[in-house]
Chains A and B, each alone.
Chain A
Amino acid sequence: MKDLMRQRTSIKPEIIDILNEQVRIEATASAAYLAMAAWCDQHGWDNSADHFYTQADEERMHMLKLFRYVSDMGAAAISPQVGEVQHDFSTLKEVFETALDNEIHVTESINKIVVACRNANDFATESFMQWYVQEQVEEEYVARRAVELFDIMGDSGMDLILIDERIPKIVYQEAGAGAEGGEEA
């Protein structure tokens, strides 16, 4: 009896399921960042709005990368249904705190996939997911640095203007890739 399952798809059903779930999580993250961008735009925080538009694009790219992988492996990639996302926030600080919470949630979800891949001996998917593990280091760094700006500078009117100006300057640089990781001067 031929191994038809292996011939047609190289990933196991349980891995297909969690990858499709991750596609949904990335799509939701993209939608959440769009809502944050809209809020920032509405309240005059131009740089923060740009930051979240860029983040929304990135999350969509993450989603597509996963989607294509599932499809390329011969499995059915499911175009995600995105539920309600938070549109209203009390302060700019709350926006960035929510962004950090989102990133932590995504990281935890990616870690679970890596564990599942190991349990299923799916080395190809585990290797593929390493890109996401690394990407999340950057994503969390940027989100955390942004929140830390509020702790350092405060959250009164002028502080917020300065924070908004500094948001585009937050860049993550990997150790050994030239300068040390940190916020640019």
Chain B
Amino acid sequence: MIQLFATDYGCTFQSDQDRCFYLHFQGREMAMSVCSLIAFKKKVDSIDLVKLLTDESDYSDVALLSTCQREAIFLLSIREIIDLKELLSGTLVMLELNSILHQQLNCGIS
């Protein structure tokens, strides 16, 4: 397995053998396809941090989030949400970079 990106709270890996990604977060490991990873990132990105920070209700500092196939549900604190946002966007950047490298090596497009 190749590590793609790591933050304080979690990290992501790619497995060429299983043809999927692994997300390590809150002590759990979840396998995700590309599609699931992108969909999960979209969910995380859609969490409105400003709204969470300014909301004065008792449930304001946490968010409940499920993965694409509802294999796992996360209860995330604000710090964890920020960390997860960073982890997933960092992972996507690494994947984009890998795509560019493949394109350059295979096609020699300059």
Contact = CB atoms under 8 A, between A and B. Distances in A.
Interface of A: 1-9, 12-13, 16-17, 74-76
Contact of A75 (B38, B41, B99): B38
10 contacts: A1-B16, A2-B14, A4-B14, A4-B19, A4-B20, A4-B95, A5-B99, A6-B99, A9-B35, A13-B38
Contacts of B16: 1-2, 4
Contacts of A9: 34-35, 38
Contacts of B35: 8-9, 74-76
Given A7-B19, A13-B92, A76-B39, A1 B34 contact: no
Contacts, number: 45
Contacts of A16: 38
Contacts of A5: 34, 95-96, 98-99
B21 interface: yes
Could you tell me the dominant secondary structure of chain B's interface residues? helix
Given A5-B95, A7-B19, A13-B92, 11 more contacts: A3-B102, A4-B14, A4-B19, A4-B20, A4-B34, A5-B96, A8-B35, A13-B38, A75-B35, A75-B38, A76-B38
Contacts of A13: 38, 41, 92
Interface string B30-56: 000111001101100000000000000
Contacts of B102: 3, 6
Contacts of B92: 13
Contacts of B21: 4
B62 to A, nearest CB: 25
A8 B99 contact: no
Contacts of B14: 1-2, 4
B38 A1 contact: no
Given A8-B33, A13-B92, A3 B38 contact: no
Interface in B30-89: 33-35, 38-39, 41-42
A17 B16 CA distance: 26
Residue among A2, A16, A75 with the highest chain B CB neighbour number at 10 A: A2
Contacts of B38: 9, 13, 16, 75-76
A57 B100 CA distance: 40
Q: Across chains A and B, which 4 residue pairs bring their CB atoms closest together, nearest first?
A: A8-B34, A3-B102, A2-B16, A5-B95
Interface string B93-105: 0011011001000
